Chains A and B, each alone.
Chain A
Amino acid sequence: MNSAAVFDFTCPVKTNSGNKALEHLPVELAGLNAVNPLIVANARAVGPKAVRTLMNAFGDSKMTLGLFEGVTEAADLGVVDHLKNICLEKKYDAFIALGGGKAADVAKVLNLAVSLKTPDARQLSPKTPVRKRLLPLVVVPTAGADGLETSGFAHLNRMIFSSEFLAPGLAVLDSRLARARKGILMAATGLAALGRAVESHVSADRNPFQKAYSFAAVRFVRENLPAAVADPGNKKAALAVLNAAAMSGCAFSNAASGRLHKLGQVFYELLGIPQGVIMGMCLSRVLEDGFREGSCDPAALLQPLAGDDAFARTPAGKRAEAALALLNRFLEELRGALGKDLPKSLSEAGVSGYRKEEILDVLGKDEDGHYLRGVVEGMAGGKRERKG
């Protein structure tokens, strides 16, 4: 890494993390000049208890909150347009996305539509210019978050909206919302964070700020994901995994969209399989191939994965292999702990042949399509395809 090179790094996200972090929301919103926020949630995904916990955090603040808890995986720009009209009428001045995935995406695009006062939100597209700051956006990720909540990206209607102004101004990570009911939810969050952080950390054009975020994210996942998976009720470990997801989103916002992200996203959008599950399946292969092609440097992963002492003890020439071996062992341990809950192949994940073809068609349109299709074919039977 050339630290003297010219680089850009933007991270407008303030993070409030820890016990009772949610209770700071009224003051934080006041600091953002917001008094009438709208909560956007997928109540089915996060559960009524999470909604109640968030509402209780506003207790004694004398605020009136708007609550829309009907976000579904099928939410599109039509829903955003309907919400936008109500928001303009009721003059909501901030948005709070509760949970990850679609709720955060809808909140980001809704914020865009309301801030720009777009006459018809269905006309919004990634080409819509965003040249000014939008209304305050707060994200409150819960277990099952994918890390993209803190990024400047929003995926809706199979379009990718991208702007630094889409990124939230505040991320609130509360230990009460971090706990999951099942280990697989924690694994999906942790693996999505790991995948994006790893891609950001090993990319050739990484900069020191990006590296700082991805380093911490990888280390947090390495140190806490096994405990969070073994006991999804472990507040400390679950919160650390949520922190890692938030950091991976910040690092990812400043990196080029990588292969792992593309694979994870396409499976999530078409089949609803969590990105982390797919990233966990193909992480080793994508890294090994990148190392062989010379497009990434896995040696940089050894320090966050193995710790400072092990990194110092390993000769520079062997760090890449050591990091890859360690990563494989980590993933195997995770699979061992989760058993059948964490699929090793697409067939175990229940992806039928014709759905796989659909995925292959979409990936074929990508500039890296040929490679990505090869990875999917390799994942289909759980076998490792090697070149040459």
Chain B
Amino acid sequence: MSIIKDVQSGKKPLKRAYVAIFLWFTGRAIQAAAKVDSEVKKEFEKLPEDFTFSLGCLPCGPWMVVGREKGVVKYLGGDSRGRPVQVRLAIKSLDAGFLILSFQESTALATARNRLITDGEIPQALAIIRILDIVEVYLLPKLIASLAVKRYPSWWSFGRKLGGRIGVYTRTLLGI
């Protein structure tokens, strides 16, 4: 018997499922927010036609792919194969992804802790981060959203928050 054991790396099904569901829901919410929120719409309009970005965990996913198709923002699933991706936001590990997406670490803190890799143009990546921040504010209650974003937009009107939330949630759940 060899003194060296070969060990297959294990699996983390619960964390993987949580991250996959979160990315799936957020992807659909971005698609919805692009129709409901004017700021998100403007951010996407500044990005090139057929622009696609992905967000996910290294080395084996899960991923979320969102892109513009003929001017319309669409959630394109979890697989970017066969499609050029202009910006890839990669979280270094599934555990780091879980920390960020379960709001134990804000995006800014995770970046400071070297947990994120950006592959693509920095201005476009920053636009995506701004879009993600807005979507998180719509999706999450203030207490949790404050942990996820760098600065909670207390200057938003009550109407924008309530109307936006209803619109984003309805469209996300219906996938429209």
Contact = CB atoms under 8 A, between A and B. Distances in A.
B3 A59 contact: no
Interface in A21-80: 23-24, 26-27, 30, 38, 55-68, 70
B92 A23 contact: yes
Contacts of B93: 20, 23-24, 26-27, 57
A61 B6 contact: no
Interface in B34-78: 58-60
B151 interface: no
A55 B3 contact: no
Contacts, number: 86
A325 to B, nearest CB: 38
A62 B4 contact: no
B95 A20 contact: yes
B9 A63 contact: yes
Contacts of B114: 16, 24
A62 B8 CA distance: 7
- By size class, the interface of chain B is 20 to 34
A82 to B, nearest CB: 7
Interface centre among A58, A61, A64, A70 (most CB of B within 10 A): A61
A378 to B, nearest CB: 44
Contacts of B157: none
Contacts of A70: 3
Given A55-B9, A59-B11, A59-B12, A27 B58 contact: yes
A306 interface: no
A66 B6 contact: yes
Contact of B4 (A19, A23, A57, A83): A83
Give the interface size class of chain A.
20 to 34
B7 interface: yes
B5 A67 contact: yes
Interface of B: 2-12, 15-16, 58-60, 92-96, 99, 113-115, 117
Given A20-B99, A61-B9, 13 more contacts: A18-B113, A27-B93, A30-B58, A55-B9, A55-B10, A57-B93, A62-B59, A64-B9, A65-B8, A67-B4, A68-B3, A86-B2, A86-B3
Q: Closest 10 interchain pairs by CB?
A: A58-B9, A23-B93, A23-B95, A59-B10, A59-B12, A67-B5, A24-B92, A68-B4, A27-B58, A63-B9
11 contacts: A18-B113, A20-B93, A23-B92, A24-B92, A30-B58, A60-B10, A63-B9, A66-B7, A68-B4, A86-B4, A90-B6
